[in-house]
Amino acid sequence: MANEIDIIMDLDPLSLSKAQLDTLISYHREDRLKKEAAGGGRAAKKFSGEKKKVDLAALGLLKPAPAMKRRF
pLDDT score recorded for residue 1: 42
27 burial type by CB count under 10 A (0-12 exposed, 13-18 middle, 19+ buried): middle
Q: Are 16 and 24 in contact (CB under 8 A)?
A: yes
pLDDT score recorded for residue 65: 75
pLDDT score recorded for residue 20: 84
Q: Residue ranges of the alpha helices (H) in the chain?
A: 4-10, 18-37, 42-45, 56-59
Rg (CA), the chain: 26
Q: What is the C-alpha separation between 67 and 65, in angstroms, rounded?
A: 6
Chunked into runs of 10 residues, the chain (72 residues) has average pLDDT values of: 72 84 88 82 64 82 80 76
